[in-house]
């Protein structure tokens, strides 16, 4: 098991850094915001808490939550325009510094492609570097489910994305940064996990992560 010093060295020399999005890169949980917007906030927030605690599989939780919300295409677009996701303080500077150093930055999220791409745009991250869940809509814009073939729709999906990135780009050292159990599980194949508690603290992650931070300034240093 790597020591904290070794993890810091991996971060300093990483050729790719993957960020979770909800409660990490942005301050809120995208699915909870969408639920509130669609009038089923409390019921869905409870399901999110259970999913984050790791007591139900991610896909089961996602299916159940979306079954309650049933967001239309129009509602998703209106959420983004009326309540755009709020970036976590320090993330803009951190991503910019990583880019300056030639490090590839990816957003790997159990959230939704349309919301995550909006975040990527603000951080100058190419949309090709976004891995997230895709909502499906009927031609009239009504909710039609989600793309279950995306790796991020499954428990363990973030690890699959990192394996794919290592194969495709021959990255030697990939770092995963996030607040949840699904982020921690992605290492291995990720080489270093950094737990983030700046927006929400997940007890199990804080206790188990060798490296745990509450502000992105700690990584800028």
Domain ranges of the chain: 4-28+86-219
pLDDT at 220: 82
42 catalytic per annotation = no
pLDDT at 155: 79
pLDDT at 176: 93
Whole-number Å distance between alpha carbons of 127 and 129:
5
Domain 4-28+86-219: which CATH number of 3.10.580.10, 3.40.50.1000, 3.40.50.150, 3.80.10.10: 3.40.50.1000
Contact between residue 190 and residue 175 where contact means Cβ atoms under 8 Å apart:
yes
**Tokens representing residue 95 in the block:** 């991503």
pLDDT at 51: 63
pLDDT at 9: 81
15, 20, 42, 217: the catalytic one is 20
pLDDT at 42: 87
pLDDT at 19: 95
Nearest to 180, CA basis, from 23, 28, 3, 26:
23
pLDDT at 62: 85
22 catalytic per annotation = yes
**Tokens representing residue 155 in the block:** 């428990």
pLDDT at 180: 86
* DSSP letter (8 states) at residue 87: B
15, 22, 42, 82: the catalytic one is 22
Low-confidence ranges of the chain (pLDDT < 70): 1, 50-55
């Amino acid at each position: 098991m790597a020591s904290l010093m070794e993890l810091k060295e991996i971060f300093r020399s990483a050729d790719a850094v993957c960020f979770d999005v909800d409660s990490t890169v942005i301050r809120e949980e995208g699915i909870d915001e969408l639920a509130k917007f669609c009038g089923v906030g409390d019921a869905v927030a409870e399901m999110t808490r259970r999913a984050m605690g790791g007591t139900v599989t991610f896909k089961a939780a996602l299916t159940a939550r979306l079954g309650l919300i049933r967001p239309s295409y129009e509602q998703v677009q209106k959420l983004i325009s009326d309540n755009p996701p709020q970036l976590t303080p320090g993330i803009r500077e951190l991503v910019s510094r990583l880019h300056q150093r030639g490090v590839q930055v990816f957003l790997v999220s159990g959230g939704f492609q349309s919301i995550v791409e909006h975040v990527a745009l603000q951080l100058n991250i190419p949309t090709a570097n976004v891995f997230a869940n895709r909502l499906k809509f009927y031609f009239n814009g009504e909710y039609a489910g989600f793309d279950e073939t995306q790796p991020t729709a499954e428990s363990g999906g973030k690890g699959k994305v990192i394996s794919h990135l290592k194969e495709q780009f021959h990255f030697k050292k990939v770092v995963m940064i996030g607040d949840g159990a699904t982020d921690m599980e992605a290492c291995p194949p990720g080489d270093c996990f950094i737990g983030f508690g700046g927006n929400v603290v997940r007890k199990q992650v804080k206790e188990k992560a060798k490296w745990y931070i509450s502000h992105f300034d700690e990584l800028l240093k």
